[in-house]
Amino acid sequence: MSWMRPTGGKPASVLRPGVTFETKCYEQDWQQLLLTDRLRRAIEFHAYPFAERILYINNVEQPELVSQHAQKLVDTGVLTSYVVVEEHSEEALRFFGLSREDFQGGYWYSIAELVSIYLCRTEYLLHYAGDCMLENTAKWVEPALERMRLQPSIVCANPVPNGWFEEAQREAMLTRGDFHLGYGFSDQCYLIRTMDFRAPIYGAQHPASERYPAYGGQLFEKRVDAWMRCSGLMRLTWRHDCYWHRSVRNPVSQNLLKISGLAESPYINGSAEKLGVVERLRFADDLSLEKRLSLAENLSLGEGIKETGVSNLEEGVNTMDGPNLVKSLNLAKPAVACYQAGVRAMEENDYETAILWLQLAVSARSREQQTGREPDPGLKWLPQLQLAVCFDRLGKTEKAWLSNEAASVHAPHGQPSIVSNRSYLHERRLSEAAGKGPLYKKAVDGSEAANSSRSGELLLSVLIPTLPDRSAAMGSMMEELQAQMLGLPVELLVLTDNRKRTTGAKRNSLLEQAQGRFIVFIDDDDRITEDYVHRLLDQIQREPDADCIVFDVMVHSGGKPLRPCKYGTEYQYGMDASFYYRKPNHLMAYRRKIAQRHHFADVSFGEDDEWAARASADVKRQLRIDAILYHYDWEIRPQSWYGGS
């Protein structure tokens, strides 16, 4: 008998402590999950006392038969319950404000995940796709929970996928202790706080999330990825162990994967339900590759290679010249096939081969357009973007720069990867042209302003860590601040280095030198309002013994405002339709004695959230300026941009 909630049409209003282990089955894999010991092993490999262990039965031809077998696992203690997804799908959709049509073809790839979140009765939820599991004992859940409790901006966690350890480290924003920290989301495996995901978060859009395949429509993981990127939320990856995706479905589709050369790819995610007579095939990495092929395109690639007898893409490269090779494949979409081959070579770190295939993709797209066919719009710029990555990995900075600029011509305006690449490659070009840049520090204090104050005390220290290549943006910021500070008891400290120190180390150095009663950080690429300094000083002079002064920050992405962020000790990390919510972080004005009690972590990413969690706990008296004083520009940057550790 499937588990029924006692709450009468609503999700559990009070979640009990603990973690629910949850996985799902569908028509093509339920026998492998329910008639073998796979589920038992999948659970036991965690060596963790899960509060509940639930199977979600989705899109099967005989739900009664599958339920009978699931009940046997409940009777033997492997599972605590099971759920037939369709029995709860409509109420879950109503709860999240979604309809089947909203998924644009991605309904069956999304509904089990949404129903499991809707029905979950514990504080945390661990999900695995049916064909993903650990293959050895890995005690990663408890350390992940500890880190997530400390840093609310981390909203999901997972082990490394498919033994992909080197790639996970390379693509992480930073590595600290047992975890990598970075962007992205995959529905193969995720550990989440239930209440983070049981919220109206599924309407966000972000350019980087367009990498998910078109055939999947607006599927669950695409929606989550967009929400996380728009909100600056991060994912933990446990770096010591991995889970594996190995298909447990029918052999026909596996043969097709082998023919196409994709079965061994660590990017392949098979967590999909049956769609017609063929199965979903997609890439699920959340890192640098911006686009994934549709199901039809993957099948065309496999069938084309089979017909020509070219079973290995690299063999094809070596046996004929590029244009003849593209012609020989005789595919409906040769540009897509070449782009796919380039991506495949990048996965194997074979950047020379990847460059050949990606350049062929550019030529093939042009040829398709000349013959009257309209290629996928993404192929106008995605191959160039990947070429920039390849050239950079080979140390060819100038070519990487040119490829990135070529991609920008046709890419969506403000495309995050291109913007961050431009900044990163610009620095590389300057470095190669001028040699190693000097480490220098610049401090402009407000001593004259301090002397003009009645008491002679500095009331505010404005602290800015920056980099040489940000001098243009800093010029306008300095002019604005100096105009606002003139004659006032405010000091300005600016610390510049050539990425040899971490951001956390620079923040600590500035804190040590600060003399103001209050301190506040400004990021060098953001903007302040014309009354920023005046409003802060007014509050300090009114209540000089306050612990913290908070105000609103407008968050921008791609040149457009998203929504304001409200800061306060009373808020938990989150968002709703109108605002983001955060604990007071380094952008807020703290009493210097409190700020100096808490050192920033010696890292270049995530140091602000971790610091805020500690510093805000000391705030007893908080003042609020109910106005926007600061404009924050959020964008994704590669790990190399941050420097340090």
List pLDDT tens digits, range 84-130. Answer: 999 999 999 999 999 999 988 889 889 999 999 999 999 999 999 99
Q: Which residues contact 639 (CB under 8 A, 6 or more apart)?
A: 171, 172, 173, 174, 182, 605
- Tell me what pLDDT residue 280 has: 26
Give tens-digit pLDDT for 456-466: 689 999 999 98
Q: In the predicted model, is pLDDT for residue 23 greater than 90?
A: yes
The architecture of the domain spanning 16-245 is: Alpha-Beta Complex (3.90)
Q: Report helix, strand or coil for 589.
A: strand
Q: How confident is the model at residue 382 (pLDDT cuts 50, 70, 90)?
A: confident
Mean residue pLDDT across the chain: 77
Residue ranges of the chain assigned to CATH 1.25.40.10: 288-434
- Tell me what pLDDT residue 14 has: 57
Q: In the predicted model, is pLDDT for residue 451 greater than 50?
A: no
- Tell me what pLDDT residue 501 has: 86
Q: In the predicted model, is pLDDT for residue 77 greater than 60?
A: yes
Q: Write out the H or E segment, with its range, that includes residue 594.
A: helix 592-597
Q: In the predicted model, is pLDDT for residue 590 greater than 80?
A: yes
Q: How confident is the model at residue 262 (pLDDT cuts 50, 70, 90)?
A: very low
Q: How confident is the model at residue 298 (pLDDT cuts 50, 70, 90)?
A: very low
Residue ranges of the chain assigned to CATH 3.90.550.10: 16-245, 442-642
Q: How confident is the model at residue 75 (pLDDT cuts 50, 70, 90)?
A: very high
Q: Which residues contact 134 (CB under 8 A, 6 or more apart)?
A: 42, 45, 46, 159, 241, 242, 243, 244
442-642 placed in CATH 3.30.450.20: no
Helical packing angle, 382-393 and 416-434, nearest 10°? 30
Percent of the chain predicted with pLDDT > 70: 76
Q: In the predicted model, is pLDDT for residue 616 greater than 70?
A: yes
- Tell me what pLDDT residue 327 has: 43
Q: Write out the H or E segment, with its range, that includes residue 448.
A: helix 447-452
CATH of 288-434, one of 3.40.50.1220, 3.40.50.300, 1.25.40.10, 1.10.3720.10: 1.25.40.10
Backbone angles phi, psi at 503, to 5 degrees: -60, -40
Q: What is the rounded distance in angstroms from the CA atom of residue 462 to the CA atom of residue 445?
A: 9
Regarding predicted confidence, which is higher, 358 or 451?
358
Give tens-digit pLDDT for 154-188: 999 999 998 889 888 887 888 888 999 888 899 99
Q: What integer is the mean pLDDT of 559-564?
A: 84
The model's pTM is 0.47
